[in-house]
Amino acid sequence: MKLTKQGHASVRLEREGRTLVIDPGGFSEPDAAVGAEAVLVTHEHPDHFDEQRLRAALEANPAAEIWTLRSVAEQLSAAFPGRVHTVGHGDAFEAAGFAVEVHGELHAVIHPDLPRITNVGFLVDGAEGAVFHPGDALTVPGRAVETLLLPLQAPWSKLSEVVDYVREVAPRRAYDVHDGLLADPGFQVYGRMLGPAGPGIGDTEHVRLAPGQSARV
């Protein structure tokens, strides 16, 4: 399949003329979800869930559907009956021809004073070489992952956790997502730490795609 990095946490997956988009939030392109047959949303934070972007996608394509957790689905279901599906940990479904599994339940801890919200990760086409988007959590799906969409930087993470997460999942490759708050010096620091000069992430290849760049996975 073709994987295209969109702004911040959003990616577009395309195969055989069908398109699936994950997390077209407020830091991604205004048309990030347009043209998608299926959209997956990991949680309700605005950098992952932007209601206007999703409405634009559903209105542009009457066949488009969304799979997400309850907190997001409740905001869209009434306007698009039958097209917004609520999912949770352990669920499996097909969307735009892609097999999808749901893993995880909670957002990572930002601070003990802030209540934790729900968060799910999506494992796409696990039988053929999985692509895993964990949303805002360091969820280990418990099965082989070919391509990890790695949350590079966030208020809830630190470098040691990012490194250890890659080591534990042990994917063939890790593509950065959740990097919209970084400037070039930050990319250089993270690239060095996740590269040969850093503490080490095993045999995983670490790759940064700029928004709009694509790769075959």
Residue of 13, 8, 59 lying closest to 217 (CA atoms): 13
Confidence of residue 97 (pLDDT cuts 50, 70, 90): very high
pLDDT on residue 193: 95
* Rounded average pLDDT over 85-93: 98
The tally of domains found in the chain comes to: 1
Say whether pLDDT at 174 is over 90: yes
pLDDT on residue 127: 53
The pTM score is 0.96
Domain that holds residue 90: 2-216
| Average pLDDT taken over every residue of the chain | 96
3-state secondary structure of 191: helix
Beta bridge partners of 3: 13, 215
pLDDT in tens, 195-215: 999 999 999 999 999 999 999
Say whether pLDDT at 128 is over 60: no
pLDDT on residue 129: 72
Residue 2 has which token pair?
């073709």
Q: Report phi then psi at 65, rounded to 5.
A: -135, 160
The enclosing domain of 112 has a CATH number of 3.60.15.10
* Rounded average pLDDT over 13-23: 96
Strands lying side by side in the sheet with 18-22: 84-86, 65-68, 38-41, 18-22, 11-15, 2-5, 214-216
